[in-house]
Amino acid sequence: MRKLFISTIATLIGLSIIWQVTAAERTPAPKDAYLYIGWPNDGEVIPANRPFRVWFGLRHMGVAPKDVDAPFTGHHHLVIDRDLPPFDQEIPSDRNFLHFGSGQTETMIELPAGKHTLQLLMGDHNHIPHDPPIYSKKITIDVR
Amino acid sequence: MNKIIVLLMVVCVFAINTAHAERTPAPKDAQVYIVWPADGAVIHGGKLWVRMGLRGAGVAPKGADKPHVGHHHLIVDAELPPMDEAIPSDRNYLHFGGGQTEARLEGLSPGKHTLQLLMGDHDHVPHDPPLYSKKITITVPPY
Ligand SMILES: [Cu+2]
Ligand SMILES: [Cu+2]
């Protein structure tokens, strides 16, 4: 019983070390970094079946393509109709989570009629959110 | 004498070609532009954030040599520099080598000022073809 207890403690210590190492892997972000959607505005009405531009705004931080590990940089991710993903792992990559790993600072998208949400989230050279995570306000647009 | 002139011409053409070959190619459809302020804007207090826009190419910090990327340079109250050498770095030629996409300007004196963007590659040299914005004029009222 005592042995089991000790090995449990040892496992816990081991796990906490792994956890700390994992946590330490997240890239630090400047405390005053500010990410926002420059356009469209919250509540914007957008014509359906027509591509429209989304402009990515970022202050006190820089943009770098994926794989470029430079201090206080990252690349933009546009989250469409989804909540923010977990911050301690790679941002998913599908039609709801768009990566701009070439260092793009704007994009054109097309959405079907209806209400949609848009939110920006920075990711580091490994597509993992920074520490603290840098994300914009989530906006809702009305496509019709 | 003729021979020397021909030789000089050959050397010159060779030198020009070499210099050009060093410039980083830019995507043909890439476009750099000032998102804000608009041409003719009136800026009270002489301080503003300039939003730097880029289409068809990406932003990378200085030193990152990847295809189709560069970093922004904001030219304040000056002309475009030579396109075949590193962009000057002084109070008229601001480098955003950290990959920034917005530029904070403060202490602009009352009067008219011009703003223009120019992309530079990892070595701060303009691309081939060069990517620069329209030059805009803003006015700072007396304060
Ligand atoms: Cu990514
Ligand atoms: Cu530069």
Reported as a single tens digit per residue, the pLDDT across A43-66 is 999 999 899 999 999 999 999 999
User: What CATH number is given for A2-143 in this structure?
Assistant: 2.60.40.10
The closest CB to that of A64, out of B49, B52, B64, belongs to B64
State in Å, rounded, how far the first CA of chain B is from the last one: 65
Contact A97/B at CB under 8 A: no
Question: Measured between alpha carbons, how far is B9 from A144 in angstroms, rounded to an integer?
Answer: 63
Has residue B100 been placed in a domain? yes
CA of A124 to the centre of ligand 2 (A): 22
Ligand nearest to the CA of A93: 1
CATH of the domain at B96: 2.60.40.10
Interface touch B54/A105, C-beta < 8 Å: yes
- Cα(A34) to centroid of ligand 1, in Å? 18
Decide if B6 is inside a domain. no
Query: Would you say residue B7 lies in a domain?
Result: no
Which residues of B are less than 8 Å from A134 in CB distance? none
Contacts of B99 in chain A (CB under 8 A): 62-64, 70, 73, 103
pLDDT given for residue A13 in this prediction: 47
CB contact at 8 A, B36 and B133? no
Spans of all domains in chain A? 2-143
Name the residue range of residue B47's domain.
23-140
Report how many Cβ contacts below 8 Å link chain A to chain B: 74
B56 → chain A, closest CA residue: A104
On whether any CB of chain B is under 8 Å from the CB of A30, the answer is no
SS3 of residue B50 by DSSP: strand
Residue A115 DSSP symbol? E
At A3 the pLDDT is: 57
Backbone angles phi, psi at B12, to 5 degrees: -60, -45
Q: Identify the pLDDT of residue A17.
A: 43
pLDDT on residue A25: 78
**Contact status, residue A95 vs residue A108, Cβ threshold 8 Å:** no
Of A68, A105, A106, nearest to B64 by CB-CB distance is A68
Task: Please state, in angstroms and rounded to a whole number, the distance separating the CA atoms of residues A37 and A55.
Answer: 6
Is position B34 within any domain?
Answer: yes
Average pLDDT, chain B: 90
Q: What angle do CA A57, A62, A68 make, to 5 degrees?
A: 130
Q: Which pLDDT value is given to residue A83?
A: 98
Q: pLDDT by residue for chain A (144 residues), tens digit each?
A: 455 555 555 554 444 444 444 544 799 999 999 999 999 999 999 999 899 999 999 999 999 999 999 999 999 999 999 999 999 999 999 999 999 999 999 999 999 999 999 999 999 999 999 999 999 999 999 999
**pLDDT computed for residue B30 by the predictor:** 97
| B128 in a structural domain | yes
Instruction: Report if residue B117 sits inside a domain.
Output: yes
Confidence of residue B2 (pLDDT cuts 50, 70, 90): low
Rounded to two decimals, the ipTM of the complex is: 0.84
